[in-house]
Amino acid sequence: MSDDHNNHEESNEIQDIPEIELIIKASTIDGRRKGACLFCQEYFMDLYLLAELKTISLKVTTVDMLKPPPDFRSNFDSTPPPILIDGKEAVLENEKIERYIMKNIPGGHNLFVQHKDTATVIENLYSKFKLMLTRRDEQSRKSLLNQLSNIDAHLHKGGGRFLTGDTMCCFDCELMPRLQHIRVAGQYFADFEIPRTLTGIWGYMGH
């Protein structure tokens, strides 16, 4: 009898967990796998963490923007992903998606910690990377290296596995995809490599 009661409680808990759908850009290589969109990757990581904590059920849908399906066009016209769907509500803009996760998704507020030093040290990293790709000069390369060195020092100083300790937060979901882009695209397009001497960053990317 107790087993039936426990199973019933577990079933109710599963039904109480909301399903959140995240529509993201598909890879331009095969049109199926997750693509390289930074914001898609960032919000996927946010929501995946919440799904791991069992506060939500996460459904991820990839859309090939070169040939989007008819139902996507009819529902969202030319709006590009990421798009978050919660029940009958669709959230379309990046800033609104971030705010919605923080304010409306169960457990979302726990991801968005206040940590001024961390926010400052990762700010504008990707802008400096794009500038380096555009200019291809020593000054822009040095500027990017300086910020990577500051992030490395921040990781060593904190001593945890992630930016603000041993638990991932919104800053990690923002930084990790950007570091991956810098590692791959930097080497491919500009022969730029994250120095192996930045052991904090390399250890961080390995988690």
Whole-number pLDDT of residue 8: 47
> Can you tell me the mean pLDDT for 136-149?
97
Mean model confidence pLDDT for the chain:
92
Whole-number pLDDT of residue 77: 83
Between 143 and 8, whose confidence is greater?
143
Helix 138-158 to helix 125-135 angle (10° resolution) is 150
Domain boundaries, given as residue ranges, for the chain: 19-111, 116-205
Q: Taking 50 as the threshold, does the pLDDT of residue 78 lie above it?
A: yes
Kindly report the CATH number that applies to the domain delimited by 19-111: 3.40.30.10
**Cis peptide before 69, with omega less than 30 degrees from 0?**
no
Number of H helices, E strands in the chain: 9, 4
Kindly report the CATH number that applies to the domain delimited by 116-205: 1.20.1050.10
73: confidence class by pLDDT, cuts 50, 70, 90: confident
Distance between CA atoms of residues 143 and 132, nearest Å: 8
Spell out the long-range contacts of 123-129 with Cβ–Cβ below 8 A and sequence spacing 24 or more: 125/151, 125/175, 125/178, 125/182, 126/38, 126/178, 126/181, 126/182, 129/178, 129/181, 129/182, 129/186
Whole-number pLDDT of residue 98: 96
Q: Taking 90 as the threshold, does the pLDDT of residue 26 lie above it?
A: yes
Neighbours of 27 (CB within 10 A): 14
Q: Which residues of 127-143 are buried (b: 16+ CB within 10 A; e: fewer)?
A: ebbebbbeeeeeebbeb
- Extended strands (E) in the chain: 19-25, 57-63, 83-86, 89-91
Please state the pTM of the whole predicted model.
0.87
